[in-house]
Structure 1
């Protein structure tokens, strides 16, 4: 008899249990969907205000401190009752719960990230009168109880009791997210009936050193074991069967096979899976069918895999101290440009598959190849990893420990082990998954608090110290990862290794927050702030003005940057001072809300583009991978907010998204401008010196072969329209590397002999052209800070926008931009309902180099432009 899963998705109701002793319930309400959570249901039924609007977050805090009960009735057929096994499976209960079936308690839960299975065979009754009741006491109050018993610990962000609770930590509030303590059956519940079922399987792939052959290892466990059953394993591509074999069971209901398969394009061969930009994302289905001696199907499952080799390389570097930290896939070393990922919503049950796909497609469209699933959220849904497999996005997966001094008492470890084991097993087969990391910034918390942290100690148990979580990160988790997967384990992010602190820029990965946080360096210092792999860095920027207006909810009196409602929708400590620090150092800006949105967005774009540009320069070829990756904090938001996200909650990309996309193209060009003070004579005089301004130009090439190109440099004087300078040369962009292309004084900028001497406003345009004249890359270097620039009048710029209508309504309209003078930071927008999808934003334009922007959804609306010096500030 085939194993069956009957999902319990109907007839659910829920209510608040107001008095546990008397059983006093509030109003019973029908659930609109399942799985679900209390907040999501109460919002739909207008029982609470939407916490994403205005100040409403603080009107719903009582929800997370109440006890809630969910109840349903379900049917069980005679056929299901005839099977030898019947389990109720709960894929996710958030978080503490007591589960009762037909008057009998069957389960107590204490971990949001664990799937629970309860044997209910003896309790089921035929027909539709089976009653399932799930009682959720307040996880917040449970956490407070645990904190009282085990002690208060230190953390960054949220209530300290979260450290004792195995629940998504961001629910307790973060510096970009609200305090919304969700509760409920957040993942599916089903009745599983069976004679026997596949309780575990493992699929591992290994490639030969020359990548000519792949080995597939398959291990299958049947519960209960049936010696006479067989397992048929089939490897299939989209159009044919590659290999098929039946395996017998060894003692204990386990079966194994090993296949050696040539790599190639033939029917009985397999192709490799590659990250986006390096090849195809070839995927194969592995079908496992368990058949009894009569030929009846007992169980079947389908898993999708890819054949690839992924390694983290940490080896000595040429000409610099330290070691590399880079990702190598199928023998190719890859510069990883990508983003950090937080949960897609505060209410995760409201996120459909197409929303996940939209987010991840934005990464690919933005030339990003890696996403880091951050530790303070969840182990993502299966569909997230499936889409990453399909799109070729490498996944960095953190374990769920974020920014805290976590405990390691026995009860806590008991709750943790099934969480880690289950989630490693669940995601280990995905070819996109290239690394597990033990936590986010917990070693940094320990360093900041001067906890007991001897990095040279590799043998202790650590549980008796005041940083007991080292036992988790250095004993428990690496054992689980090594035992159950083939994925590389890294103790934390950031983590240097080699007995170095997390701030050491020469080892491991680095969170570089000395722009914005820390010493609040100018963003122009990214080059000296570089690490071997920068897995976090960022700059805040307001979201789209429509998103701002959404959370204002019609309150016009709050529509200014410093209003109470605006502050409610920015959770970062000191954000007003820090935003203004970077604005006032770099821009002349206005304070009306439209202007403030624009200037923070352009600032964010300039900051982040500069980081990627300077750090890709450090990818200088084998042995010189001085910076091997940059993952911006962050891609997305979980609610409408001003944050470090480069795409806002409503999937509206900020200008920074486009600026990063330009810096992550296959071919890019970069420049840096430096002013050097040269002493006169014997160097003793402070009054006499020379100021020399130089520029350096480089290109990058992520292709695996050299790329010939023409370098075209042009210079313009913003104050003297007639003055131009141009130089061209043939260059070769080295394969998978950066290449230095040109160095010299800024054209037209004379040596100065004092700070009072005027500075010419020289703008330098650089382009790389292919043999047919197509633009491979462009970049415009402006003198900074921008606040010193006297921009020409709008009339003198003569900015032109020519719109070409498409042949088909589904095609993009072409917007051709040209001007008579250089323009900085052009952002396009329209008014009215419906978003426009733009191919580019935050554009720098120079004479003679017109640019084309594609736009979907204009619907005849007038295009508005905003740029520096347009008279708005």
Structure 2
């Protein structure tokens, strides 16, 4: 058998046309895979850029058509004259086809695919000259056909039309409440021609850490096809470049041999030399590269490698005084997780494929999360299994990954053909991703159990699961997928990574609609959605782990101007502006939250700014309050983490994202960054909910929608202050100072409080609890008619300094609502710029709410800080991440220009 090396060649020179193979439409030039039809039509001048204005409506027709792609290529020289028995295999490797694809090689059908998430490898015989054609049918129309073909199933979907239910395609392509309806198709991942006599695959490192985490014992496994030759394995420390272990002594595991592919393995041990992978903020991210080489004499036949890290993962779900815990323990250290949910980076995913120049996009996004003190991203189940570049960046930067399987907001079928496709999809993607140390949990779906509750589907939460086959006979057959099939795949294909049936899920009894805060994870959508509670209530609306919650805001003006090109459309509530915001009821909800808290601005710049400040207030108060519930140790972990919906956007829009489509952060991003500092101080007024009954059973009069107006003027203000720290930071002889600063004058209205603080690591210490603010010069007598001009509302401002008097953290609590405060007096805001315009220092004479620099994509990264409040006597430094002059950025604050 001829010992030729493994060779993989991308197929290039593609064209495409509308219709199937028999259509007489003209052929047009197409991009080489990865590509997709919307991009190719736009490049040929046949479709407009749907990311701008109302153009989404102009391209909807594309998703209902059939499209054919083709290319020609020569037979590789290494395969010429060898035929099937020449010892060299020739394989067409389709890494991903979107979605209903029929593949023809030299007029012969060689592949039919109906799952976007599956890779196909087809062994072929070639001619000297070859033609490859791929016909893509409309996923939407095929989905409607499948619904009709399965009348036995009750198809229910949220957000979109019913056709997405039976189709294994990225569900957000049907549109969502943050994204457009863009029904893509095409060769969205590379297509390559492989020739080889030997091929390696399925590389896996199976290991256990000793109890003291100082020793690793494991096995390295690899699957082999074709000429065996000699297998060599090495394990390299990426930080030092040292080969820590190597061998040529792989043994065949006969019990797992299947067909022409054989499984080999070698045991290994690392003793005192092992270096662990840690989440960011808790240690270093040590990585190792495992490489396997197949040789025939001096010839290298094939080489494969992967990067991994050694860590121990636990999802701690134990009974405690609050119910049942839900938090992560990494390498025996409890980790409070603060992060965000992730949706696909684009509607045209091929724009960001790692094979293109934009391969850094994924790393830039993970770096953005990391620089914002975020410790986790959750890959949401309505998108895609992300490319390796996404997870490699998370590995490198120490960002944990919560990985959903690709099911979201629907009652999915479970007939045999569908299950067969799901098994292949799940197994392929788990095998592809299992070596990434950043992935610490797999979840079965997103919010599918709310469908059960809302529509009364058959579900017995107390079923012991001993006979999961019976679930297939109910009107919720997907329970078989989530609570049996996927868990078995995780168990068989990975080691030490927990599986969670759904997000949210609390033993089947906690859903989006019926939140049980004592168990599992929760999606808290009674702020914005649901009952539209005031966001000031969020601290008391958490759970054991809040895996979704959020608040909408506009992006910066620069982003709006990129996607709304007509100046006459650039006002709040314009047709184009409303069209781009896909959230149901956003016209009422966004304005309601803004006007409930701020004086409404009609101009676009002013209104956009208020939405951003409002979002930052809502998100920030939730993060710091839920982190406060981390407690002081085992049995007191009331809240194990919080993930905002969402980190990013898939197109330029108005949404819950804390950074827009171009990666430009909104102020909420910085609110999270401040709340998730390694050591963070928090201060909060006591919130009075006037809808609650007092002890005497009588309803109190409700002064406003959610505000106790007495707190603006009476000496009845009470507050709490606390300090949170992660697992690596301990306070010693720090000083907490609390000041009470008049909004009107900028002067202190009461004696400050100064306390010494020392705290243990990895917890929250309550420093001040329910302290009453003593105002010595109360100007309003309760026996007199109320005179609003005599009130002197104040900000509670807390700072934490270390034992060298260096500022560690600060926080402030304003009297709500902000709209009742008088900002008419000049705030005395000043900006001083460094000579090279890389730094700005901001000061003010009076308290300033919501100081925001209007960021632009040209910054190529986040500022050091933004969207903060300014207190008199303090200096706030802002640095740019690039050479973009900071003095070119516009700035504004609440009440400016009024």
Asked if these proteins are the same fold (TM beyond 0.5), I'd say yes
**CA gap 1:862/1:373 in 2 versus in 1, 3 angstroms:** closer
Unaligned runs of 5+ in 2: 353-357, 702-709
Distance in 2 (CA, whole Å) between partners of 1:250 and 1:862 is 65
Give TM-score scaled by structure 1 length: 0.93
What residue number does 2:606 align with? 595
Which moves more between the two structures, 760-769 or 750-759? 750-759
**1:285-684 alignment, distance < 5 Å:** 285-292=289-296, 294-317=297-320, 319-320=321-322, 322-351=323-352, 352-459=358-465, 460-461=468-469, 462-486=471-495, 487-497=497-507, 503-553=515-565, 555-622=566-633, 623-674=635-686
Give TM-score scaled by structure 2 length: 0.91
Of the three residues 173, 176, 197, the one matched with 2:175 is 173
Distance in 2 (CA, whole Å) between partners of 1:831 and 1:534 is 31
User: What do residues 209-242 of structure 1 show as CA deviations (whole Å, max 9, x unaligned)?
Assistant: 1111112321122124x5x633211001232110
Distance in 2 (CA, whole Å) between partners of 1:235 and 1:349 is 33
What residue number does 1:776 align with? 808
1:104 aligns with 2:114: no
Distance in 2 (CA, whole Å) between partners of 1:832 and 1:205 is 43
Distance in 2 (CA, whole Å) between partners of 1:165 and 1:679 is 50
User: What do residues 807-837 of structure 1 show as CA deviations (whole Å, max 9, x unaligned)?
Assistant: xxxxx72211111111111012389987785
8 Å Cα contact 2:504/2:511 also seen in 1: no
SS of match in other structure, 1:165? coil
Q: CA deviation at 1:683?
A: 11
SS of match in other structure, 1:692? coil
What residue number does 1:54 align with? 53
8 Å Cα contact 2:13/2:32 also seen in 1: no
User: What do residues 8-58 of structure 1 show as CA deviations (whole Å, max 9, x unaligned)?
Assistant: 34111111126x6xx223221112332100101111222101111111111
**1:85-96 alignment, distance < 5 Å:** 85-96=89-100
8 Å Cα contact 1:836/1:857 also seen in 2: no
SS of match in other structure, 1:35? coil
Distance in 1 (CA, whole Å) between partners of 2:62 and 2:850 is 45
SS of match in other structure, 2:672? helix
Distance in 2 (CA, whole Å) between partners of 1:118 and 1:608 is 49
1:692 aligns with 2:716: yes
8 Å Cα contact 1:337/1:368 also seen in 2: yes
Distance in 2 (CA, whole Å) between partners of 1:93 and 1:757 is 70
Of the three residues 248, 251, 265, the one matched with 2:251 is 248
Distance in 1 (CA, whole Å) between partners of 2:375 and 2:743 is 37
Distance in 2 (CA, whole Å) between partners of 1:58 and 1:465 is 39
Distance in 2 (CA, whole Å) between partners of 1:557 and 1:370 is 41
SS of match in other structure, 1:493? coil
User: What do residues 282-331 of structure 1 show as CA deviations (whole Å, max 9, x unaligned)?
Assistant: 11110011234x453332101101011111110122x32x1111011111
**CA gap 1:55/1:829 in 2 versus in 1, 3 angstroms:** closer
Q: CA deviation at 1:740?
A: 0.6
What residue number does 2:775 align with? 748
8 Å Cα contact 1:697/1:742 also seen in 2: yes
8 Å Cα contact 1:273/1:308 also seen in 2: yes
8 Å Cα contact 1:831/1:861 also seen in 2: no
1:726 aligns with 2:726: no
User: What do residues 123-143 of structure 1 show as CA deviations (whole Å, max 9, x unaligned)?
Assistant: 2124xx111111111121111
Distance in 1 (CA, whole Å) between partners of 2:759 and 2:781 is 34
Distance in 1 (CA, whole Å) between partners of 2:395 and 2:218 is 18
Which moves more between the two structures, 434-443 or 713-722? 713-722
Q: CA deviation at 1:859?
A: 3.1
SS of match in other structure, 1:838? coil
Distance in 2 (CA, whole Å) between partners of 1:647 and 1:680 is 41
8 Å Cα contact 1:2/1:299 also seen in 2: no
SS of match in other structure, 2:231? strand
Q: CA deviation at 1:73?
A: 1.1
Aligned residues: 846
SS of match in other structure, 1:24? coil
SS of match in other structure, 2:810? strand
Distance in 2 (CA, whole Å) between partners of 1:684 and 1:125 is 87
What residue number does 1:864 align with? 890
User: What do residues 493-517 of structure 1 show as CA deviations (whole Å, max 9, x unaligned)?
Assistant: 0001275556211111110011000
User: What do residues 545-566 of structure 1 show as CA deviations (whole Å, max 9, x unaligned)?
Assistant: 111112212x122111111111
Q: CA deviation at 1:248?
A: 3.0
Distance in 1 (CA, whole Å) between partners of 2:313 and 2:426 is 21
SS of match in other structure, 2:840? strand
Distance in 2 (CA, whole Å) between partners of 1:680 and 1:119 is 75
Q: CA deviation at 1:204?
A: 1.9
8 Å Cα contact 2:746/2:847 also seen in 1: no
Q: CA deviation at 1:734?
A: 2.3
What residue number does 2:158 align with? 156
Distance in 2 (CA, whole Å) between partners of 1:568 and 1:36 is 27
Which moves more between the two structures, 634-643 or 197-206? 197-206
Distance in 2 (CA, whole Å) between partners of 1:820 and 1:334 is 40
8 Å Cα contact 1:748/1:762 also seen in 2: no
**CA gap 1:575/1:682 in 2 versus in 1, 3 angstroms:** closer
Distance in 2 (CA, whole Å) between partners of 1:825 and 1:535 is 27
**CA gap 1:697/1:155 in 2 versus in 1, 3 angstroms:** same
Q: CA deviation at 1:733?
A: 2.6
**CA gap 1:864/1:746 in 2 versus in 1, 3 angstroms:** farther
8 Å Cα contact 2:556/2:854 also seen in 1: no
Distance in 1 (CA, whole Å) between partners of 2:772 and 2:287 is 52
Q: CA deviation at 1:792?
A: 4.4
What residue number does 1:266 align with? none
Q: CA deviation at 1:77?
A: 2.5
Distance in 1 (CA, whole Å) between partners of 2:699 and 2:384 is 61
Which moves more between the two structures, 211-220 or 781-790? 211-220
SS of match in other structure, 2:74? strand
8 Å Cα contact 1:205/1:308 also seen in 2: no
Of the three residues 263, 268, 271, the one matched with 1:262 is 271
Distance in 2 (CA, whole Å) between partners of 1:328 and 1:582 is 37
1:803 aligns with 2:815: no
8 Å Cα contact 1:5/1:190 also seen in 2: no
SS of match in other structure, 1:15? strand
8 Å Cα contact 1:55/1:565 also seen in 2: yes
**CA gap 1:607/1:345 in 2 versus in 1, 3 angstroms:** same
Unaligned runs of 5+ in 1: 264-268, 807-811
Distance in 2 (CA, whole Å) between partners of 1:516 and 1:325 is 25
What residue number does 1:147 align with? 147
What residue number does 1:208 align with? 210
What residue number does 2:704 align with? none
Q: CA deviation at 1:685?
A: 13
Q: CA deviation at 1:858?
A: 4.2
Distance in 1 (CA, whole Å) between partners of 2:886 and 2:766 is 45
What residue number does 2:825 align with? 793
CA RMSD of the aligned region, Å? 2.4
**CA gap 1:832/1:768 in 2 versus in 1, 3 angstroms:** closer
What residue number does 1:117 align with? 121
What residue number does 2:735 align with? 710
8 Å Cα contact 2:382/2:406 also seen in 1: yes
Distance in 1 (CA, whole Å) between partners of 2:590 and 2:108 is 57
Q: CA deviation at 1:422?
A: 0.2
SS of match in other structure, 1:193? strand
**CA gap 1:199/1:675 in 2 versus in 1, 3 angstroms:** closer
**1:9-28 alignment, distance < 5 Å:** 9-17=11-19, 23-28=22-27
